[in-house]
């Protein structure tokens, strides 16, 4: 036997607050409380989540059938700097001009180990050649160089992936 239950709201007994609201015109389900799920939860179609999602890890399906661990796949820090001066950044607390072509960007949230993976580039039309980066747990040292290999004050872009502490 198949039954149909049609409702707009589900409320806790003796309460005026909605626990679950259903909007038939948009198809949205609103749950204004914390949700605890155990086992495997499956969502199909377009799913949008906002707020804080806790737990050990979140695995999402990317293109095709491949999955990725969301925490591992995120860039944990980045900085676009005019020489040592950050123009825009994420997880960068401060910058220091150590000497010509030698900058240190300090992380707001530290990395778990110095084995993070930095990548970056010079942004110069003056024969910029290389960009040496030395990551640490508290920051990354960036050394742009010219075509001769000498440290030079160039604009840089740096991104760092890895595990946060």
Q: Does 87 reside within a domain?
A: yes
Give domain status of residue 39, yes or no. no
- Structural domain count of the chain: 1
pLDDT bracket for residue 12 (50, 70, 90): confident
pLDDT at 102 exceeding the cut of 60: yes
The answer to whether position 62 is within a domain reads no
Q: What is the mean pLDDT of residues 25-49?
A: 68
Q: What is the pLDDT of residue 10?
A: 73
In a domain, 138, yes or no: yes
For residue 8, is it within any domain? no
Tell whether pTM > 0.75: no
Domain carrying residue 111: 77-161
In a domain, 110, yes or no: yes
Examine residue 66 and state whether it is found in any structural domain, yes or no. Answer: no
Q: Is residue 64 part of a domain?
A: no
Phi, psi of 92, rounded to the nearest 5 degrees: -115, 120
pLDDT tens by residue, 108-153: 999 999 988 888 887 766 666 777 888 899 999 999 888 788 888 8
CA distance linking residue 139 with residue 9, whole number of Å: 50
How many C-beta atoms surround the C-beta of residue 110 within 10 A? 16
Q: Supply the DSSP symbol for 162.
A: S
Residue-wise pLDDT tens digits, 141-152: 999 888 788 888
């Amino acid at each position: 036997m198949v039954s149909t239950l049609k409702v707009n709201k589900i409320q806790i007994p003796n309460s005026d607050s909605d626990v679950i609201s259903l909007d038939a015109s948009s198809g949205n389900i609103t749950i204004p409380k914390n949700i605890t799920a155990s086992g495997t939860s499956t969502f199909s179609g377009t799913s949008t989540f906002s707020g804080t999602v806790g737990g050990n890890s979140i695995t999402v399906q990317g293109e095709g059938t491949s999955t990725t661990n969301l925490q591992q796949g995120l860039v944990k820090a980045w900085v676009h700097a005019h020489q040592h001066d950050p123009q825009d950044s994420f997880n960068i607390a401060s910058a220091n001009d150590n000497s010509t072509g030698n900058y240190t960007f300090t992380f707001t949230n530290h990395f778990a180990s110095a084995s993070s993976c930095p990548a970056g580039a010079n942004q110069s039309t003056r024969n910029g050649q290389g960009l040496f980066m030395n990551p640490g747990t508290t920051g990354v040292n960036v050394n742009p160089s010219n075509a001769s290999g000498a440290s030079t004050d160039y604009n840089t872009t740096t991104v760092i992936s890895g595990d946060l502490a």
